[in-house]
Amino acid sequence: MKNITILGSTGVVGNNALSVIQSYPDLFTVVALVANKNVTMLLKQCLAFSPIWVAMNDKKSAYLLQRELQDRQSKTHVLFGATAVSKLASLPQIDHVVSAIVGMAGLLPTLSAIRSGKTILLANKESLITCGSLFMKELTSSKAKIIPIDTEHNAIFQLLPLKIQENLGVSALKTHGIKNIILTGSGGPFYKFSIPDLSHVTPNQACIHPNWSMGKKISVDSATMMNKGLEYAEARLLFNASHSEMTILIHPESIVHSMVQYCDGSVLAQLSIPDIKIAILYALSWPKRIHSKSDFLSFFKQKTLSFFEPDLIKFPCLKLAIDAFSEGQAAMTVLNAANEIAVQSFLDFKISFDKIFIVNIETLTSSCFSDPQCIEDILEIDRISRVLAMKKVSSLSF
């Protein structure tokens, strides 16, 4: 039996993780749940899974939840605040932590889980890409393990030799005969749109992905292809890959989730229907595999698999992320902060879709930070960058 904490349980990834856990009651049990302020959904989860602990980042929401649970004579303990969230990520009885909080809010609890030697099922890419080498050093110095549950990185992880799986971010790919990592992406909902059309798309359109059911923020990132840029950075760090060892391909069908090309000419690919529960189950059961209750891929129904290079002119956020990663850790932290502000501003109808890139690049080019030496430096760069980005949004608002 594996004991699990889920950070971000009310989000899409968190709900999918709970769905997987519920299907295997003899293998997994939920000890703690963490959410921001969605009392209604967290209450349902508490009643379904009876966790020992829950924490909410928002104090008022935590009090409301506590009252609802007391009315139902629940024995679940309710905490609130950032310290409590990090505490539940490092409980002694916990084996696995699902890191599914969206954005920089997931950084400190994920680091808490790493420092406590947990196995982290990582969906919160921002905590990795904003900290980079600092994050990986924390991982190396602890007994913690990272298993990515983003479908692309989970696919790559599955295709790598066991020795690399056990030593992420350290092993040299060439030493294991690996020539190239091929990161695939659907292209989002707008890859067939013209550049002029992109300036008129709405938040509702951006949040409707053709293949995946995702939260609003990641849906918009998929639409701008910033998400693929962040995934590029994540892959560079997780798999210790150089720029020359990375290729990005658009694959609209979302069946081939990524590939690894070996030096002998072989290309290994991981295929499945587009369902993150498959990646979550693999991560929970690793290094074993257990029978999935998701649908299986039918090659008779799926007759077409297409691939093409990304359009960096139409989707400049992708190139911006790749370039920022090459510039250093501070640049990547600035870009992530600016993008979080820009995406939320678009969702709030403050800027148009094409202005997301403008906010990102102008915040990045107007910033000048030394490379961070500690987590506190990262948090300060993030704070200042958000202020700069909000000022830029104000100058661009309708």
Instruction: Classify the phi-psi angles of 164: left when phi > 0, otherwise alpha if psi is within -120 to 50, otherwise beta.
Output: alpha
Rounded distance between C-alpha atoms, residue 327 and residue 45, angstroms = 42
Distance CA 358, CA 123 (A): 27
362 known ligand binder? no
140 is in an annotated binding site: no
Long-range CB contacts for residues 375-379, cutoff 8 Å, separation at least 24: 375/107, 375/108, 375/111, 375/131, 375/134, 378/107, 378/130, 378/131, 378/134, 378/329, 378/333, 379/107
The response to whether 367 counts as a known ligand-binding position is: no
Alpha carbon distance 51, 34 (integer Å): 10
Does 380 carry a binding-site annotation? no
For residue 251, say whether it is annotated as part of any ligand binding site: no
Cβ contact 11:39 at 8 Å? no
Angle between helices 12-23 and 39-49 (to 10 degrees): 10
314 is in an annotated binding site: no
Q: Please tell me whether 150 is known to bind a ligand.
A: yes
Q: How far apart are CA 99 and CA 109, in angstroms?
A: 8
Name the burial class of residue 93, with classes exposed (0-12), middle (13-18) and buried (19+) by CB atoms within 10 angstroms of its CB.
exposed
Going by C-alpha positions, the residue among 347, 337, 319 that lies closest to residue 392 is: 337
Q: Is 253 annotated as a binding residue?
A: no
The verdict on whether residue 339 carries a ligand-binding annotation is no
Polymer length in residues for the chain: 398
The answer to whether 222 is annotated as binding is yes
Q: Is 16 annotated as a binding residue?
A: no
Binding site as annotated, residues = 10-11, 13, 37-38, 124-126, 150, 152, 186, 209, 215, 222, 227-228, 231
Per the annotation, where are the binding residues for 1-deoxy-D-xylulose 5-phosphate?
125, 152, 186, 209, 222, 227-228, 231
Known binding positions for Mn(2+): 150, 152, 231
Binding-site annotation: residue ranges for NADPH = 10-11, 13, 37-38, 124, 126, 215
